[in-house]
Chains A and B, each alone.
Chain A
């Protein structure tokens, strides 16, 4: 920690403890040690002292005892010559500060009983509310726990003008934060500024005028300390538990506006103990390294128009957006809507015009959350039937964001836009296609609104990995071309990255246990080269899903030592599956049909099974209704494979996995495949090509029989022989 800050904080703490001592001595003389003191209507005594030290201060005598402890806690003032690690002493000084301030405030309650209003709202002749009683704390504390109010800003001092004060207050209110105000700067207080500007203050508007002195900061800290005891089950005196609860759950920060005095430094140092950083508008030294707080400790010299955004970022607060603010309805119900020619007002992409969608991640400083720019004409500037090129560039930033997540986020655009009533979206990347219906335009829909949709939904669905989203929508031909060029380069890089990712390059695989709801012992093991059998989850999806929901169905598994590279067995995987299958599955191979095959749930895209006569494997997809050479239709096969059982010779697979280099490696891979329904063969033809090239049999697809050749083994065998299918000469399958 900065030496300047530390010495100032320690100096401040000495002053404050000194003041408390004097006040306490005077009071003792006047009232005696048995005089009761405390904050009104609370069972938490002086809450910081009670929460941290476990001491219930009931009398002046008790207060005296605590002050003696404070003095022991106070580190010696920092001398110029010594260079110590400053953080710890400064934090202790901060603690002593709060204890002393609570005592000062408690004595104030004793000496001036009407100094505070003791209610939820300010009175005409007294705006200072003082400590929240237990009723207020309980009622408001619930909001902190359930997330309707994520935390609070403790503001010390005043803004340079009342207009700036109002702007800061409103911005904080918009983020659902409470604003706890105390202290003055050059005789002005933020509370008074707000009142002057006609803003209603009090608990109901979340603008809480605690008190005119800096010592009223303890009302904010005491609130947080009590919340931990009341809602976190933290016992009085369990200081570590209390501080951790606050750091992890209460998104609070200190915002000193104006000259930071020694006393303010002392308070700020104290707040760091709770994990609450300080964001200042004056050029005080910064304390950036993270340690106690989630991110930085003290960030300074922040301009007023950025101070709220910066505070939220530093405290790691997630933005909650509950509603998609557009002029039409929004929801999954509208996903399947079609816009027909007659209803069409406008379309773009889809081969009609240039069209592209791109999501990229950027540095936190490069993205302004919620900024939506429209570059080129929007729908209100064109006529029905006009066409425009289209590019949507979505820039996201987040402390947890990784470039690897970009394609996953980008893929969401399709359904997110489809959820808008009256809009149809098809495809992705540079083959995207949007149709806007006449009804939507009548309701006032603009392309710009797509930005709002994406901004809101990205925050809602991916808040765990991103903090900021800004969107640029282009309909200007030149600019669209620029985006398209950039996108093409990125698409290429991404494809290469995914291609280059193999089961060998990754140490962590993922589980999926989503289907355990109906197949209790089923576990999908998802590796870079083997997607989940439903086709809906690949390795990257699982990684993101885990980041978003760490207790969810996709858990990382350290694959551990390799037991058999051909079968695809690893120690870590075996152990995990044994446990996750409730001890039913003792061994599992990722690459084998015959040897401990993976269990199947029921929602696999395809089933693979053996054809003994042809010494090969057939695969049938769910949509194929006809008979297959194994003598069973898909439905019958599905009944045999599913239910979370291991059935050697039968396997649920995704379409994607068929064209993987790891496809049934143990049985010889794609080369073993002797029969596919024609529809499936056509669907995967393009992706089969490179694999066939690698196998050295570029015309391999022609050797695979399909339903037009036959639907019994006897019918297809002559065909395979005629084509010289490699499976016929491979090792016997059984």
Chain B
């Protein structure tokens, strides 16, 4: 007996967004089906992973996360190169964490100079994240836009409070933006409408719906992401038909479960393996919810997820 698999014909399609520049452009999006439902539609561009690079040597990372980068921490350029050369990173996500007014409060021009150096050092698409402080990000990301004119960086987070200033600058210097909202489909849509009103071109918008770590509200993030994707595909909600980025590595590696050593919590097992698996599991979940770009940290977790994406992209017999 043959089993007929029920199929849904999706009316909507995710927009294709070219990231980076020149010969190194990587396109994301373009899906015409739910994640990996290859029997129902196409996923012309499989999800991609952007490897994290920090602008300063991280002080609060567990050793298990720092180990692969111990030799480059504090030198963002070397760090980025290592990600590309040693770990084969397809994209880099520069976290300008030290610009946080509650941390080092690195000035905007300095952050822009760092970004410029990193962007000169690697050819792959470069994501640049501020510290999620509305006012400071405005300064920092505007400076970054100016310093890296024409490089088509992907900058964010653009929030309700600063999308105008950063968005306008991004238009002027031709960068792509990440529209960030706090786990809410309506706000996500609203911000995309506003960016459209500002005249940010449709091929320069990525949705950052906010992603938590496994065990820390991930299911809520999952369902919002899933709803954004289904609204885009099924209800043809035009203002939600953008690729989604999930920026969760920084969330994963600060959880208690990842930081406790085996001595402190013998029941939780090997600390290194645990961290890698929690990061990989979080990634796996958001992949299924519809994420197009994953911001990840640990090379081993990344390898696991890459493998998984490859497996899922094999089109079975239908």
Contact = CB atoms under 8 A, between A and B. Distances in A.
Interface of A: 138-139, 141-143, 145-148, 230-233, 513-514, 516-517, 520, 551-553, 582-583
Contact of B185 (A230, A520, A551, A552): A520
Given A520-B227, A551-B193, A146 B185 contact: no
Nearest to B198: A145
A666 B52 CA distance: 60
B235 interface: yes
A551 B194 contact: yes
B235 A582 contact: yes
Contacts of B231: 582
Contacts of B199: 145, 231-233
Contacts of A142: 142, 165, 168-169, 172
13 contacts: A138-B173, A141-B172, A145-B171, A145-B198, A147-B164, A148-B165, A231-B172, A233-B171, A233-B199, A517-B184, A520-B185, A551-B190, A553-B186
A141 to B, nearest CB: 6
Given A145-B199, A146-B168, 19 more contacts: A138-B172, A139-B146, A141-B172, A142-B142, A142-B165, A142-B172, A145-B164, A146-B164, A231-B171, A231-B172, A233-B171, A233-B201, A516-B186, A517-B185, A517-B187, A520-B227, A552-B190, A553-B186, A582-B235
Given A513-B186, A551-B194, A552-B190, A145 B201 contact: no
Contacts of A145: 164, 167-168, 171-172, 198-199
Interface in B176-226: 184-187, 190, 193-194, 197-199, 201
Interface of B: 142, 146, 164-165, 167-169, 171-173, 184-187, 190, 193-194, 197-199, 201, 227, 231, 234-235
B174 to A, nearest CB: 9
Contacts of A517: 184-187
> Which secondary structure dominates where chain B touches chain A?
helix
Contacts, number: 55
A692 B318 CA distance: 67
A553 B168 CA distance: 25
Contacts of B184: 517
Contact of A516 (B185, B193, B194): B185
Question: Top 3 nearest A-B pairs by Cβ distance?
Answer: A145-B168, A146-B168, A146-B164
A226 B223 CA distance: 43
Contacts of A146: 164-165, 167-169, 198
Contacts of A148: 165
Nearest to A520: B227
Contacts of A141: 172
Nearest to B239: A551
B235 A583 contact: yes
B287 to A, nearest CB: 22
Contacts of A147: 164
B251 to A, nearest CB: 21
A600 to B, nearest CB: 17
A142 B142 CA distance: 10
Contacts of B190: 551-552
A460 to B, nearest CB: 13
A725 B232 CA distance: 52
Contacts of B235: 582-583
A516 B188 CA distance: 12
